[in-house]
Structure 1
Amino acid sequence: MAEVEQVVVTSGTALDLPVIAPGQQVEVSVPATSANLGPGFDTLGLSLSLYDTVRARTTTSGRTVVRATGEGVEALPTDERHLVAHALISTLHRAGHRAPGLELDTTNVIPHGRGLGSSAAAIVAGVLAADALLPAEDRFDAAGLLQWAATLEGHPDNVAPALLGSLAVSWSSGRVFRSTRVPVHPDVVPVLAVPGRALSTETARALLPPSVAHGSAAANAGRAALLVHALGADPSLLFPATQDSLHQDYRAQAMLPSATLMRTLRAAGFASTISGAGPSVLTLAVGEAGAQAAEEAVRAAVRTADTPQDWRILRLPVDREGAKVRMHRG
């Protein structure tokens, strides 16, 4: 998971803040996400039906304890440095409150470091859990939740679909982040090929050049606009709409098996892209027959010597509702 900025409480110390009553419990489920979708670099994100779950309880212990199960837990801290805990505590502080103690139980299903928004899911889970714990008058509105989650993540392209569901189109003005939800056509079926090896977002971003040719930028602008239309209204256009000229070729050297798989699938006519910063490969299939064909094509491709890795093939329907919160008052 990515590191997030530390939040400083400027009006006194955290110990001066009003305390959230102990015994409050909240449960949050947050979907995986796939950003970029080919040409929509840092602007488009799709919500997927694969969910991490967090259960948080306020205590009087004076400390934060995290118990985690599932994906990537061997590398995660078990105290306030855990990304969910950090996001939760930071959100409480930003709203002018604190918890005297916290117990978090996290169930991680979203693979880490695979371009499926695991860090965004952790941040959204922490932000939403904190918001549910706050007094009603101090809670964030929808725009505030997006702004704060995107601030912690550094960009909105994964946190927006995690919050909103479906397809999220995001933009920013300086450090002000905005997003709108676009319903996805019911025939669109995402198929993921998830490799066994992780790749950090920082590594992938470091390979991008500081500038690109005007022609590449113009080509991507047109394809990104077409992609919004294809996902929402006309999936028959998904193959040309997912053509990228901006970032995937530059990153290929860091994930050659994934780049090879994506190119093999596209050569066969599938609307395949690198999911987020990679290295998972996303194919946007159309209908049941299209999804089956995509899965078979992935299996055939990964048996070749050009894509040596252990791969998981996941058919993940579009999540249409975004993160969900259940609150239990003490």
Structure 2
Amino acid sequence: MNEGEMLLIKVPASTANLGPGFDSIGLALNLYLTLEVARSDRWEVIPLTEELQEFPQDEQNFIVKTAIEVAETFQTILPPCQIKVDSNIPLARGLGSSASAIVAGIELADQVGNLGLTKQQKFKIASKMEGHPDNVGASIFGGLVVGCQLGEEVDAEVIHSVDLEVLAVIPEEELLTKSSREVLPSTLSFKNAVSAGAVSNLLVAALLTNNLELAGKMMKKDKYHQPYRKALVPHLQLMEDCAFEFGAYGVALSGAGPTVLCFVKPGKMNLLIEGLKQKLPKMSLLPLEIDKNGSICSGAIITK
């Protein structure tokens, strides 16, 4: 990036798991973290939303720290920048806000440091930082991502042919991933692990063949995390009990929660929204679409 040039980085939100695809299935959604980056004499982060104002506004900002760390692994020192940060991704709600920040930091390092990273390299770096490939994979590649992280190896298949209508049901309260993971069992019996894997496998097959009813059935049969997290997210059970009568074919906790996603039959979105408004009047209902582009960087010339 040359002096006087502004860089625009746009990273989509994501949902993970889709029920039984625990730590391996991610879906990119059309909410975005956006960075406007210009060269400066010092690191300065300018939050454009009230929610982002709680974070550091210098090189201690998580996105900047991520960028500096990534650049250092390639023996590169980044020149300081002014970064205007905007986001409509709710924080700590299970919609991949931390993953999008990691991806934004990697894109920042790549562009400002002229690292020339491939998408696969960015994916490997992001997965190592996040600890699992689902959210970051979706934010980088877009679409539906099925990933596997074994030690230093990270692989994924990216599917852009899947079209899903999604309604996010978002409560006011946050739920940190750490708290949500603490309720999970440390082990599963061999028998339960086999059946949990079978449910996850069939979910992917159903999504790829557009068998929506079967996909929804598998979401509900998850054995990895949703049964243990229902105590933290009581509206998950309520939605499993009522959303289907309003036009949903599937209900799944989004990531670690507390957002719950409804997967909606074509033409049923308005009916579902009206029905859930009566059941969950204090929650935000947000219709979403799949983002199929993933993270995007573009440049323009501005006068700072």
Percent of aligned pairs sharing the same letter: 29
The superposition leaves residues 200-239 of structure 1 with CA deviations (integer Å, 9 ceiling, x where unpaired) of 0011011111012333322221221222222232223222
Q: 1:234-313 counterparts in 2 under 5 A? A: 234=210, 235-243=212-220, 244-256=222-234, 258-265=235-242, 268=245, 270-289=249-268, 291-303=269-281, 310-313=282-285
Q: Which amino acid aligns with 1:204?
A: S
TM-score of the two chains, using structure 2 as the length reference? 0.91
- Give yes or no for contact 1:184–1:233 (8 Å, CA) kept in 2: no
Q: Aligned to 1:112, which of 83, 87, 91?
A: 91
1 CA distance for matches of 2:209 and 2:274? 26
1:131 aligns with 2:110: yes
Q: Aligned to 1:319, which of 291, 296, 300?
A: 291
The runs of 5 or more residues in structure 1 that have no matched partner are: 1-19, 304-309
1 CA distance for matches of 2:12 and 2:131? 19
Instruction: Give 4+ residue runs of structure 1 displaced > 6 Å after superposition.
Output: none
1:197 aligns with 2:169: no
1 CA distance for matches of 2:120 and 2:178? 27
Q: Which amino acid aligns with 1:58?
A: R
Cα offset, 1:48, TM superposition: 0.6
Q: Aligned to 1:29, which of 2, 5, 10?
A: 10
For these two proteins, the number of residue pairs brought into alignment is 298
**Aligned residue number for residue 17 of structure 1:** none
1:70 aligns with 2:49: yes
1:231 aligns with 2:207: yes
2 CA distance for matches of 1:184 and 1:313? 26
Q: Once superposed, what is the RMSD of the aligned Cα atoms?
A: 2.0
TM-score of the two chains, using structure 1 as the length reference? 0.84
1 CA distance for matches of 2:32 and 2:175? 20
- Give yes or no for contact 1:85–1:104 (8 Å, CA) kept in 2: no
Cα offset, 1:286, TM superposition: 2.4
SS in 2 for 1:111: coil
Inter-CA distance 223–300: structure 2 relative to 1 (3 Å threshold) = farther
Cα offset, 1:122, TM superposition: 0.9
2 CA distance for matches of 1:319 and 1:165? 6
The runs of 5 or more residues in structure 2 that have no matched partner are: none
1 CA distance for matches of 2:56 and 2:165? 35
Inter-CA distance 133–171: structure 2 relative to 1 (3 Å threshold) = same
The superposition leaves residues 162-212 of structure 1 with CA deviations (integer Å, 9 ceiling, x where unpaired) of 0111100010121322222012433x2011101100000011011111012
1 CA distance for matches of 2:62 and 2:229? 26
